[in-house]
Amino acid sequence: MFNNVIVRVPSKSISEGITSAHEGKPIYEVALVQHENYVSALTKCGVEVTVLEPKEEFPDSCFVEDVALCTSKCAIITRPGAESRREEAQLEDMHQALSKFYENIEKIEEPGTIEAGDIMMVGDHYYIGLSERTNQEGANQMISILEKYGLSGETVSLDEMLHLKTGLAYLENNNLLVAGEFKNKEAFDKFNKVEVELNEAYGANCIWVNDKVIVPEGYPNVQSKIENLGYEVLTVDTSEFRKIDGGLSCLSLRF
């Protein structure tokens, strides 16, 4: 169960965020409303939400998931692979927010790079995607820190997706949403895999929060498959964040 969530309000500079999508620039005013609806959905899941102020100098800073991993034992400050996001991981208000909840705060050091969008938690075990943003050194450091606290981790190679959680979502109870290259990854064979079609691949980035599942709006097949597993589904429009390669999980730290 999750008790707390940290989010950051999008900045007006969001239109300058890093993107590989070809869907135009996000509209700030619309992104702001979508973010408010996202926070509202989280609140319905029974968590306390800490809302951090926008940071104009960091267009991608609403994607707080990438700058820290929050575990049951410690928080780990990452070192993002995207150079323009490195300083985000050092923002004082994020460190202050984490220190309210964690006595133990660790951090990844150079030359390691890792973004927590590449990390999927399954109980006390963490799957770490090796991607353009997360290198082997970063993964090794992360696994070493996890093991220090009695947790564990393993790496999974990525060939197509930006982040591990771009195409995966663990919904607890052994249920795993899988899209694209992850459908046949041996590492996930033990799960009850729920396959997401290519045309709804973006919808695979859902988040389980206390027996409810928040699903991006506009992906009816994904929504139906999750409802058929017995979960209550909440939908949130994240279309503006999709324009800069962001999804539901990217927008919060949940612990």
The predicted-structure confidence for 116-144, as pLDDT tens digits, reads as follows 999 999 999 999 999 999 999 999 999 99
pLDDT score of 69: 98
pLDDT over 80 at 21, yes or no: no
CA distances from 100 to 36, 41, 104, 123, 149 (A): 23, 23, 11, 23, 19
Cross-strand partners of 7: 51
The mean pLDDT of the chain is 97
Taken in order of first residue, the domains within the chain and their CATH numbers are 4-254 (3.75.10.10)
Give the pLDDT score at 23: 80
Nearest of 247, 237, 219, 227 to residue 171 by alpha carbon: 227
- Structure confidence at residue 22 as a pLDDT band (50, 70, 90): confident
pTM for this prediction: 0.97
Q: Report residue 67: phi and psi, to 5°.
A: -95, -5
Task: Using the Cα atoms of residue 4, residue 76, residue 65 and residue 161 in order, give the sign of their dihedral.
Answer: negative
Q: How large is the average pLDDT for residues 111-117?
A: 98
Please give the C-alpha separations between residue 252 and each of 84, 195, 240, in angstroms, as whole numbers: 19, 24, 16
Determine if residue 46 is left, alpha or beta; phi over 0 gives left, psi from -120 to 50 gives alpha, anything else beta. Answer: left
* Widest Cα–Cα separation across the chain: 45
CA angle in degrees (0–180, nearest 5) for 178-180-183: 50
Please tell me the predicted confidence (pLDDT) of residue 19: 82
* Confidence category of residue 17, pLDDT binned at 50, 70, 90: confident
User: pLDDT confidence of 18, banded at 50, 70, 90?
Assistant: confident
The residues annotated as belonging to the active site are 163, 250
Asked if residue 44 has pLDDT above 80, the reply is: yes
Q: How far is CA 1 from the centre of its chain?
A: 17
pLDDT tens readout for residues 210-253: 999 999 999 999 999 999 999 999 999 999 999 999 999 999 99
Instruction: Report the distance separating Cα 253 and Cα 137, nearest Å.
Output: 23
Query: Looking at the chain, how many residues does it have?
Result: 255
**pLDDT confidence of residue 95:** 98
Taking residues 83-104, what's their average pLDDT?
97
Place of tokens 């929060």: 209
pLDDT in tens, 158-180: 999 999 999 999 999 999 999 99
Q: Which H, E and C letters describe 198-249, residue by residue?
A: HHHHHHHCCEEECCEEEEECCCHHHHHHHHHCCCEEEEECCHHHHCCCCCCH
The predicted structure's pLDDT at residue 31: 98
